[in-house]
Chain A
Amino acid sequence: MRPLTEEETKVVFEKLANYIGRNIAYLVDNKEDPHIFRLQKDRVYYISDKIAKFATSVSRVNLMSVGICMGKFTKTGKFKLHVTSLSILSKYAKYKIWIKQNGEMPFLYGNHVLKAHIGRMSDDIPEHAGVIVYSMSDVPLGFGVSAKSTGEARNLQPTAITAFRQSDIGEYLREEDTLFT
């Protein structure tokens, strides 16, 4: 387990900025309970400083996970956010989409968000911006990228895609074998 290099930090933060924008500042500047990013194998974990110190006593081969896993670096050096980061993304989300009850299950089965399923969405979403998807009762369901800006989306057909799904909590079941090791 080691801190991220400058290069890695840049890649990770660029990715995060898509979804939470300037709110990244809250992630790194938490005076009461400072949190840090750590790299273990190819995965990036976001953990409280105290816990990170305890985790140093566990050897690298035996450490399976610590705190919250944000995502992993691909072999080509890109950073891929995992659904496990949803709790953090949803807390600081910039653009939000709420989907109706009848759209919940299709989304959780890995489909994109259709216009017909949208109950509400933030007013100022630009095209191709990272969005967090919620149910109508404010339960975060996943995240993705907007296909159209809010204004354009108003004029879409009901069957048209409004947001492309990137990750959803259905992956806890579908991807259990690959997601966590």
Chain B
Amino acid sequence: MGSRRHKNKQGAPPSYEEFEAKKNKKDQKRKRSESVSEPVKPNKKKPSFDNDKKSKKSNVQGKKQRKQDDESEDEDAIRKRQLEEEKSLPQVDLEELSSAKKSLFDDSEEEEEEQNDEFDLEGEEGEEGDEFYDSDEETRERPMFSDDEEDMEALSAANMEALSAKLDEEAALEEQEAEEELLQTNIVQPRAQILPTEEEEAQQSSGPKDVNILRTRMIEIVKVLEDFKNSAEEGKSRVEYTNRLIQDICDYFGYTPFLAEKLFNLFSPSEAMEFFEANEIARPITIRTNTLKTRRRDLAQTLVNRGVNLQPIGPWTKVGLQIFDSQVPIGATPEYLAGHYILQAASSFLPCMALAPQENERVLDMASAPGGKTTYLSALMKNTGCIFANDSNKARTKSLIANIHRLGCTNTIVCNYDAREFPKVIGGFDRILLDAPCSGTGVIAKDESVKTSRTEKDFIQIPHLQKQLLLSAIDSVDAHSPTGGYIVYSTCSVMVEENEAVVDYALRKRPNVKLVDTGLEIGKDGFTSFRGKHFNSKLNLTKRYYPHTYNVDGFYVAKFKKIASSPHDVSKAGAYEKESLARSEAEEEGIIHGDFASFNDDEDKDLIEKSKARNLKKKGINPTAKGKAGKK
């Protein structure tokens, strides 16, 4: 497969400049041979050579054509249009998309190459195709040199100027022609019909889905959506394409339409495809060195001796190791049992690094099981100070306690509260980590059930809880802490409802906190607005992580600094009171949003007319003139 791909790479379509340069060269060569009276042997020989090649080529193409015959006609058209797009679009997207699933797409890539060759043939009026460029490059170059020399002999001082002027002129003319030609070929290409007709759809929905067709169509649609203006089929709207794509994603990857649409809306079409693809591939296994017991270099050495193939995760962490393969179970080596490392996803290093606890501080981890982050915090604090490791699920505290003891964290207190009970239990922390329970849309690769189990209700209930937790976290921090006063909020979800919306809510409800930079080297900025919702402008300080960009789980990290204390800090409200308060608040908001914004078209008639007229004016049409014309 490798060699084949390599060959394909070679035949990439020439860029516009290359194309022109080649053309000019050829023209000049031809002209010279015409203008110079002497017979030029190498040139005479060459056409026959070319013909030979051409006939061979056409043979080859004939064969390939036959091979393609079984494919439907509209796919041909699709390819043509692809070709056209390749001219105008950057190549990268296509390459990436196709490389993701090589097996399937290799053939079509080859076909594209063939198409390119045909195109070149057409475009250059029977010059040899790209495929043979390398092989006869020498034979082509050499005659030209000899030509030049002969030219020089034939030239005399007298006719030199005239000749060169003539050459220049012709060159300019040719160039112009070439340009026109190129433009023409761009226009002439017909637009492909990608979306299935109703009959096809009915046929397909009855039988089992062909994944190959689905896949090809998804890629086509993404390409159309990228350059909708130039490549969309006449009379089809963007919505039609998008809907088709989302339905295909559901069929191909197994999402519910609701979730697929939600995830799709987060990205541009091509990025969304990358995201869905990345969710099918498991993230690499990573471990974190327990710096309380060993050093990364020593650990790596011992593990290598046990037959583990590993490598540091990246420059952004000094404790992470990535495991490629292992001859021993990585979760049962003597080093693991002795607490020298813990299996931990690379993404869950991030909130701990963002929190950056200092020695001798008092820290709270509100949802800590199974203890990966808690033990990291403890290691960062070098076992000083005090960590409250809370988890609301009693069964999960078992693994939490096991990990804490195995890794030798002596500064922890494990408690089993609903995290909303804080600060009633104890407040005044220097730092708080809230890795909130979430829908898990960032870890679909780890847990496939998310694809089908999440419903609209989840995306109301989960953020509802997250908001209360975040407010509790904010209230439990000591604003006057000399070293801290920070809160880190993180989720393993990519949804805006669970991330930016929750953070924005907290900023509105607690004016005594502000967002600060997370201090993380990698990650994309959070959204400041999303589909018509506008959030606090500081939300770009938060960080988003996607499986397809950093090869970590989908993740979100926000860091707050509490700048002043508030009356909420001393409130004795427990989880129950907070829940009832939040619920009544949500209901209140619901009432306002439900009944407030309805339109009365009759009353608004004047306004509607006015705005219509204004819109026409903007377009440069005189509304009154048009009206008169209509009356006549």
> Is A25 in contact with chain B by the CB < 8 A criterion?
no
Contacts of A104 in B (CB 8 A): 334
Distance A47 CA – B383 CA, assembled complex (angstroms): 12
Distance A140 CA – B294 CA, assembled complex (angstroms): 13
Question: By the criterion CB–CB under 8 Å, are A57 and B402 in contact?
Answer: no
Min C-beta distance of A108 to chain B, whole Å: 6
Contacts of B400 in A (CB 8 A): 64
Kindly report which residue of chain B lies nearest to residue A109, judged by CB atoms: B332
Contacts of B417 in A (CB 8 A): 58, 62
Q: What string of 1s and 0s marks CB contacts (under 8 Å) between A54-87 and chain B?
A: 1101110111111111000000000000001001
| B414: contacting residue among A65, A84, A140, A141, CB under 8 A | A65
| B416: contacting residue among A48, A62, A172, CB under 8 A | A62
Question: By the criterion CB–CB under 8 Å, are B338 and A51 in contact?
Answer: no
A residues with CB within 8 A of B: 47-48, 50-51, 54-55, 57-59, 61-69, 84, 87, 104-105, 108, 135, 137, 139-141, 169-170, 172-173, 176-177, 179-181
- Please list the 8 inter-chain residue pairs (A to B) with the smallest Cβ-Cβ separation, ordered nearest first: A169-B337, A65-B414, A180-B401, A64-B414, A84-B405, A57-B426, A65-B401, A58-B415
Contacts of B411 in A (CB 8 A): 48, 51, 67
Known: A48-B411, A58-B426. A140 touches B338 (CB 8 A): yes
Distance A67 CA – B387 CA, assembled complex (angstroms): 10
27 contacts between A and B (CB under 8 A): A57-B425, A58-B417, A59-B425, A62-B417, A62-B425, A63-B414, A64-B400, A65-B414, A66-B413, A66-B414, A69-B401, A69-B405, A108-B334, A135-B334, A139-B340, A140-B338, A141-B337, A169-B337, A169-B339, A172-B402, A172-B405, A176-B398, A180-B398, A180-B401, A180-B405, A181-B397, A181-B398
| B413: contacting residue among A54, A61, A135, A181, CB under 8 A | A54
Distance A55 CA – B390 CA, assembled complex (angstroms): 12
If over half of A's interface residues share one DSSP class (helix, strand or loop), that class is named, otherwise mixed; here it is: mixed
| A66: contacting residue among B402, B406, B412, B425, CB under 8 A | B412
Question: By the criterion CB–CB under 8 Å, are A51 and B414 in contact?
Answer: no
| B405: contacting residue among A55, A68, A177, A181, CB under 8 A | A68
Min C-beta distance of A47 to chain B, whole Å: 7
Distance A54 CA – B417 CA, assembled complex (angstroms): 15
Min C-beta distance of A110 to chain B, whole Å: 12
Contacts of B401 in A (CB 8 A): 64-65, 69, 180-181
Min C-beta distance of A1 to chain B, whole Å: 10
Min C-beta distance of A112 to chain B, whole Å: 17
Question: By the criterion CB–CB under 8 Å, are A176 and B413 in contact?
Answer: no
Min C-beta distance of B485 to chain A, whole Å: 18
Contacts of B334 in A (CB 8 A): 104-105, 108, 135, 139, 141, 169
Contacts of A84 in B (CB 8 A): 405
Min C-beta distance of A113 to chain B, whole Å: 15
Contacts of B399 in A (CB 8 A): 176
> Is B467 in contact with chain A by the CB < 8 A criterion?
no
Interface centre among B413, B416, B417 (most CB of A within 10 A): B413
Question: By the criterion CB–CB under 8 Å, are B402 and A67 in contact?
Answer: no
Question: By the criterion CB–CB under 8 Å, are B337 and A172 in contact?
Answer: yes
Contacts of B410 in A (CB 8 A): 47-48, 67-68
Distance A177 CA – B399 CA, assembled complex (angstroms): 9
Distance A66 CA – B400 CA, assembled complex (angstroms): 12
Interface centre among A58, A65, A170 (most CB of B within 10 A): A65
> Is B386 in contact with chain A by the CB < 8 A criterion?
yes
> Is B474 in contact with chain A by the CB < 8 A criterion?
no
> Is B408 in contact with chain A by the CB < 8 A criterion?
yes
Kindly report which residue of chain A lies nearest to residue B294, judged by CB atoms: A139
Contacts of B394 in A (CB 8 A): 64, 181
Min C-beta distance of A77 to chain B, whole Å: 24
Question: By the criterion CB–CB under 8 Å, are A54 and B426 in contact?
Answer: yes
Kindly report which residue of chain B lies nearest to residue A50, judged by CB atoms: B386
| A170: contacting residue among B337, B386, B405, CB under 8 A | B337
Kindly report which residue of chain B lies nearest to residue A47, judged by CB atoms: B410
Question: By the criterion CB–CB under 8 Å, are B386 and A51 in contact?
Answer: yes
Contacts of A50 in B (CB 8 A): 386
A48-B410, A64-B416 given; 14 more Cβ-contact pairs under 8 Å: A50-B386, A54-B413, A54-B426, A55-B413, A58-B413, A64-B397, A65-B397, A65-B414, A66-B414, A108-B337, A139-B340, A172-B406, A173-B337, A177-B398
Distance A30 CA – B334 CA, assembled complex (angstroms): 31
Contacts of A137 in B (CB 8 A): 302
Min C-beta distance of A121 to chain B, whole Å: 19
Distance A173 CA – B398 CA, assembled complex (angstroms): 12
Question: By the criterion CB–CB under 8 Å, are B412 and A179 in contact?
Answer: no
Question: By the criterion CB–CB under 8 Å, are B402 and A180 in contact?
Answer: yes
Contacts of A181 in B (CB 8 A): 394, 397-398, 401
| A169: contacting residue among B338, B388, B397, CB under 8 A | B338
> Is B80 in contact with chain A by the CB < 8 A criterion?
no
Min C-beta distance of B390 to chain A, whole Å: 9
Question: By the criterion CB–CB under 8 Å, are A65 and B404 in contact?
Answer: yes
Distance A68 CA – B292 CA, assembled complex (angstroms): 15
Kindly report which residue of chain B lies nearest to residue A67, judged by CB atoms: B410
| A63: contacting residue among B398, B402, B413, CB under 8 A | B413
Contacts of A58 in B (CB 8 A): 388, 413, 415, 417, 425-426
Question: By the criterion CB–CB under 8 Å, are B402 and A176 in contact?
Answer: yes
> Is B451 in contact with chain A by the CB < 8 A criterion?
no
Kindly report which residue of chain B lies nearest to residue A107, judged by CB atoms: B334
Min C-beta distance of B293 to chain A, whole Å: 9
> Is B362 in contact with chain A by the CB < 8 A criterion?
yes
Min C-beta distance of A51 to chain B, whole Å: 5
Distance A173 CA – B340 CA, assembled complex (angstroms): 15
Contacts of A177 in B (CB 8 A): 398
Contacts of A54 in B (CB 8 A): 362, 386, 388, 413, 426
Contacts of B415 in A (CB 8 A): 58, 62-64
Contacts of A140 in B (CB 8 A): 338
Q: What string of 1s and 0s marks CB contacts (under 8 Å) between B333-363 and chain A?
A: 0110111100000000000000000000010
Contacts of A141 in B (CB 8 A): 334, 337-338
Distance A136 CA – B338 CA, assembled complex (angstroms): 13
Distance A108 CA – B388 CA, assembled complex (angstroms): 31
Min C-beta distance of A104 to chain B, whole Å: 5
Contacts of B406 in A (CB 8 A): 169, 172
Contacts of B397 in A (CB 8 A): 64-65, 180-181
Within 8 A of A (CB), among B94-113: none
Contacts of A169 in B (CB 8 A): 334, 337-339, 406
Contacts of A48 in B (CB 8 A): 410-411
Kindly report which residue of chain A lies nearest to residue B427, judged by CB atoms: A57
Within 8 A of A (CB), among B534-577: none
Distance A55 CA – B415 CA, assembled complex (angstroms): 9
Kindly report which residue of chain A lies nearest to residue B338, judged by CB atoms: A139
Distance A65 CA – B412 CA, assembled complex (angstroms): 8
Known: A48-B411, A57-B425, A62-B415. A173 touches B405 (CB 8 A): no
